[in-house]
Structure formats: structure tokens, C-alpha cells
């Protein structure tokens, strides 16, 4: 296999300069996503106006924890006209899942951090408190969840020495998307489900995080694959591995496709997702064109959100399960056997 050519990395700086987004891959997470300075235009070069600019900006943040026994996922999304949060936990042995979804008009009760390095995001309703924290010194991300007597999560994901994926791509004709992703990092903290506590470090739980925002397509779709765990090298040593592959949203000149080996980011090329949309829980094939990623995904269960009110629509299916196959690196093949993770199939009109 030929070694992939690493793209030129841009230094972290303000994302918007002279009203325009800076496209490319950054060497680190961005500390300043000054989206208010962006001048949205129509396809004919005219100012789009304040209302379309305000409505067009979307934000997503997702924190997940994965282990052989337990998996959880938590999302915060602000779509301007509404906000949504969901949290679910899965027993990976039995497939038992408990999930909760919360919505609020105009994003009432939700505040989101404007960068993935420093700040905090929060969503509060009666009996519900969800917080995602971003800290620079030392670099780490955190999740706190309290939902009645059902669930409490207090998780920390240290990032020291880790190379995040940080990229901004052109979207539609005049838009942009910034995404910051990481996977394959050990978690610290605890989770309490129905009064039963578990230590995340003792479970061997590993985390992933997605911070995305921008002026996205009015009607869009994507597929996504993510895993966090350990893989086996040919010499018998185990390595921390992570994966982020997408298709459908971030492929205009640059992409966020990559894998991680012991915290080192390794770029991959375009991704392919082979699956049966009418039998979504059947096995998936997930691979990259350069051959670095060649995986089969076996589902354990699914979290789903659907909405169709004509002007707004969503068909969101996040499937959790296990990956098997191989990740090919310049240091040799890494065997993947039963590593927990997600695949996703999403259609949205917003």
C-alpha cells in the first residue's frame, strides 16, 4: 500500500477572516470560531440578510463512551428554530437500551460552547441536567449527565499528547462546516444506572467526541463510523485505536476521515459505506479507498429520531455494535476484533 500524502496543516487561528471561512485542515483544535463575523451571501453574490444567516447556522456536540460491557452516547444540537438533546445507555452483553430525548423551541434551556477547547455547553429542563465541558490546561473534555433517578454520568476524557482532527470545508455554494473530532481516548469517572455504579476506567471505557458547526446544506445526508478501543499488532502488542469516517458532508477538497493509533492521527481517503437501508441492522461494510480501513460492523441495537413536518424533516439512525477487520498503518496492520463503536445514517432537511 502506498503511503498517503499528508495535507498541509493550517495553524490554529480565527476561523473567519474578512467575512470568509478559512478552508483546510488545522494542526490543532480551534480556539476561536468567530461565526458571527461570517458574511453569508446568496448564490448570486448578494448579502443573504440577518435572518437567513441566523437560521442557517447549526451546532452539534456529541460525547460517547464505549467498552465491552457498556456503551453510552449523548448529543446536544442547536438548530436555531429548536434544540434537541438525547442520551442513551446500552448493555453490550444483553443489548438492553434505555434512551431519553428532549426538545425545546428556539433552543430554550440550551447554551453551547463556541469552540472545542475552552468553554461549556449545557441543557437544562426539570429533572434533566446535561453539561459538556472544554478545558485547555490541561486539555480535556468532560460530560456530566443527571436524568432523574435513572442516570448519572460524570466522565472526563484527557487529551494530553493527542492529535485531534480539525478541519473546515466548503458546504453547498456559500456555506461552510467546521468539525473537530477525536476517538480512542481512555475515560475516567463513573456512571450510575438505576442506582448501580460502575467505574469507567475499570470498565476499560474509551471515548470519542464530535464538535461540529457551520452553515450547512438546507437538505443533506451523511453516513458516519466511529470506534474507540484497542487493536492487536502483528507482534502481539495492543494499541489504542480510534476511527472517524464520514461520507456526504465533509468532502469538498478536504475531509475529516482519519484513524488514530496511540493518539497519532493518520489521514485516510474517501470512505465507502455498504449497507441495506431497508434492513439497517444487517452487517455493514466500512472501508476507505486507500485501503487503510477495511471493517465489518455488526449491530447490537439502534437509537432513532424521526420527524417530518414538510419544511423540516429528519431520519436519524445511530446504530451501535462492534467492528471487526483491519486498520493498515505505516507501522503495520492492526487487527480489530469486536471493538465497540457506532455507524450512522442521517437524512435532514432544516
Residue 124: strand pairing partners: 129
pLDDT value at residue 7: 55
Closest CA to 258 of 250, 222, 143, 60: 250
d(CA 60, CA 162): 22
- Residue 268: per-residue pLDDT: 97
CA nearest to 110, candidates 102, 122, 119: 122
Is residue 6 included in any domain, yes or no?
no
Longest dimension (CA), the chain: 60
List, in order, residues 6 or more apart from 72 with CB less than 8 Å away. Answer: 64, 65, 87, 88, 89, 90, 153, 191
Handedness of CA 30, 36, 39, 41 (dihedral sign): positive
Provide the pairing of β-strand 140-147 with 128-135: antiparallel
Distance CA 339, CA 242 (A): 10
In this prediction, the residues of the chain whose per-residue pLDDT falls under 70 are 1-8
| 7 inside domain | no
Q: Quick one: pLDDT at residue 5?
A: 40
Q: Please calculate the CA angle 227-177-82 and round it to the nearest 5 degrees.
A: 90
Does a structural domain hold residue 1?
no
DSSP codes joined into one string, 219-258: EEEEEEEEEEEEEEETTS-EEEEEEEEEESSS-SS----E
Is 135 inside any structural domain?
Answer: yes
Write the CA distances from 264 to 8, 162, 260, integer angstroms. Answer: 16, 6, 5
Range of the domain at 268: 13-349
Residue 119 in domain: yes
Distance CA 213, CA 202 (A): 34
Number of domains in the chain: 1
Residue 5 in domain: no
In a domain, 267, yes or no: yes
Cell matching residue 303? 437509537
Residue 286 lies in a domain: yes
Residues linked to residue 314 through DSSP beta bridges, in sequence order: 307, 348
What pLDDT is stored for residue 312 in this prediction? 86
pTM: 0.95
Amino acid at each position: 500500500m502506498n503511503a498517503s500524502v499528508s495535507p498541509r496543516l493550517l495553524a490554529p487561528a480565527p476561523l473567519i477572516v474578512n467575512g470568509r471561512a478559512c478552508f483546510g485542515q488545522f494542526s490543532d483544535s480551534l480556539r476561536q470560531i468567530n461565526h458571527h463575523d461570517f458574511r453569508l451571501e446568496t448564490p448570486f453574490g448578494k448579502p443573504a440578510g440577518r435572518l437567513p444567516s441566523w437560521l442557517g447556522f447549526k451546532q452539534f456536540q456529541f460525547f460517547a463512551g464505549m467498552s465491552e460491557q457498556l456503551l453510552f452516547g449523548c448529543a446536544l444540537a442547536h438548530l436555531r428554530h429548536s434544540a434537541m438533546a438525547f442520551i442513551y445507555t446500552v448493555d453490550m452483553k444483553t443489548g438492553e437500551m434505555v434512551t431519553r430525548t428532549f426538545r425545546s423551541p428556539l433552543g430554550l434551556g440550551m447554551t453551547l460552547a463556541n469552540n472545542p477547547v475552552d468553554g461549556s455547553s449545557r441543557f437544562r429542563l426539570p429533572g434533566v441536567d446535561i453539561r459538556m465541558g472544554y478545558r485547555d490546561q490541561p486539555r480535556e473534555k468532560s460530560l456530566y449527565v443527571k436524568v432523574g433517578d435513572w442516570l448519572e454520568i460524570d466522565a472526563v476524557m484527557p487529551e494530553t499528547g493527542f492529535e485531534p482532527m480539525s478541519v473546515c470545508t466548503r458546504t453547498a455554494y456559500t456555506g461552510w462546516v467546521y468539525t473537530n473530532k477525536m476517538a480512542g481516548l481512555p475515560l475516567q469517572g463513573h456512571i450510575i444506572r438505576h442506582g448501580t455504579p460502575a467505574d469507567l476506567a475499570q470498565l476499560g471505557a474509551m471515548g470519542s467526541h464530535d464538535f461540529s458547526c457551520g452553515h450547512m446544506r438546507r437538505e443533506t445526508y451523511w453516513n458516519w463510523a466511529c470506534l474507540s478501543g484497542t487493536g492487536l499488532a502483528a507482534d502481539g502488542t495492543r494499541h489504542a485505536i480510534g476511527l472517524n469516517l464520514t461520507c456526504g458532508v465533509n468532502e469538498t477538497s478536504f475531509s475529516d476521515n482519519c484513524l488514530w493509533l496511540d493518539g497519532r492521527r493518520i489521514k485516510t481517503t474517501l470512505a465507502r459505506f455498504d449497507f441495506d437501508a431497508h434492513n439497517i441492522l444487517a452487517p455493514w461494510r466500512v472501508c476507505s479507498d486507500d485501503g487503510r480501513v477495511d471493517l465489518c460492523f455488526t449491530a447490537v441495537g439502534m437509537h432513532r429520531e424521526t420527524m417530518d413536518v414538510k419544511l423540516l424533516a429528519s431520519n436519524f439512525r445511530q446504530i451501535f455494535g462492534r467492528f471487526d477487520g483491519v486498520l493498515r498503518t505505516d507501522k503495520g496492520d492492526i487487527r480489530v476484533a469486536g471493538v465497540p463503536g457506532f455507524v450512522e445514517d442521517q437524512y435532514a432537511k432544516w
